[in-house]
Amino acid sequence: MYLHEDAAIQNLEAMAVKLKPHGYKYFVIDNGWFGEYILQTGTKYPAEKHASDVRINEYGYFLPSKVYFPNGLDAIAKRCKELGIKFGLHLMRGIPRKAYELNLPIKGTPYTARDIANTNPKENCTWCTYNYAVDMSKPGAQEWYDGLIQFIADMGVEMIKYDDIVSHPDEVEAVAKAIKKTQKPILLSLSPGGRVDPSAIEFFKLGNMLRVTKDVWDEQTYIDECFTAWRKWSGTEEEGFWIDMDMIPFGQLQLMSPPGKDTSRSVFAKGDIALSGKGVRRWSQLSDSQMRTFISMRALAASPLMMGGDLPSLDDFSLALITDPDMLACNQNGVMGFLVYENGGIETWKSLEKGQICSGWIGVFNRTEKLISVTVNSALLGLELHTNYTLLDIWEDRLLNAGSRVQIEPNGVLFIKFSG
């Protein structure tokens, strides 16, 4: 939210240096890139949660904000290509309400925005009101999505994060059809998570990534929700379709929100301006143990790794976690781990190396608020340790043996690479 041109370029250049060598591929600009925000006087800070006006062309397709992207997005897309990075954009489901008000034409058809828009409040997004839903039973509806997606593809976009769409499988299908018609390899990410209907899984598999959590921030409650989602969706991944647990909230967050009046670690204090996202400008509040748990979970669940913090100022500890070669190998293995042990607040999840039965990764998670000591044994790890296994404690970079006693910090993890 509220990303501006200078910050976009700075983060893109930092990504090329810090993340691209480790396999990170996509630079994605989130919601609001088309918003003509009212700003707080003398600053680039927004004075409103959502833009009171949006910029669109003669067919209702979103255009880059003159407030935050006065030079457009062409230079950013071009720089992505020069750096070998793929460019992505966020879109909201539906058709802009501004296009409805102006009754703009649906390109290539005799229909207009008012012919296809669904203004029923029950069918429309309640937290972001830029768009109306599209009634896919109306003529011109598919053509709307065809034209919009072709326009976005022509901007050089190779990934689309489509928001407010998971509860509308018919529009998921329309977007997937439109992408196919471009004949370009555009990755499709479906959002938001939270209340996602598992019975619509075949529609979701028309995309490449399915959000299964609500927005994730730097508090333990969000980590707990990710564990719940992991259980619910375990085993539903397949080649080209991944369960998505949302962004990685490491480093500095909410840089476009003014600093909070309370300078302690609280996320939000009385008197702070409530903007999009959560809280005020801050460093991630997760402890080192919580961060290790967070990224170990992402690796074992084969969840897409999307860095949500500021890259130019990223601290060394966060960078080391998100670029760790063993963590990345586990994540890019693409096999969602499964629960093999649960007792006394300890959960063990295991992911097998693709095509193997005797090698992979294990996460022993302490789901409690207290320090717990565990014994490395067959039951805990879900392995027959009488056979010859090598056990590497990834975060401590040490070898473990059967019978070893290991202490796991509150809300922490023992992350193991095993082979045998």
Assign 189 to helix, strand or coil: strand
Q: 259 pLDDT band (50/70/90 cuts)?
A: low
Distance, in Å, from the CA atom of 304 to the CA atom of 325, rounded to the nearest integer, reads: 15
Give CA angle at 73 (68, 76), nearest 5°. 105
Fold of the domain built from segment(s) 339-419: Immunoglobulin-like (2.60.40)
Q: What is the pLDDT of residues 94-122, one digit of tens each?
A: 999 999 999 999 999 999 999 999 999 99
Residues in CB range of 285: below 8 A, 6 or more apart: 218, 219, 265, 267
In terms of residues, how long is the chain? 420
Sketch the domain layout of the chain as residue ranges: 5-334, 339-419
One-letter amino acid of 197: D
CA-to-CA separations, 285 to 151, 280, 327, 353, in angstroms, rounded = 40, 12, 22, 33
pLDDT tens sequence across 284-324: 999 999 999 999 999 999 999 999 999 999 999 999 999 99
Q: Is the predicted pLDDT of residue 265 greater than 50, yes or no?
A: no
Q: Provide the 10 A C-beta neighbour count for residue 315.
A: 13
In CATH, the architecture of 5-334 is Alpha-Beta Barrel (3.20)
Q: Are 279 and 254 in contact (CB under 8 A)?
A: yes
Q: Residue 385's pLDDT band (boundaries 50, 70, 90)?
A: confident
CATH fold match for the domains 5-334 and 339-419? no
Return the pLDDT at 271: 55
SS (H, E, C) 75-116: HHHHHHHHHCCEEEEEEECCEEHHHHHHCCECCCCCCEHHHH
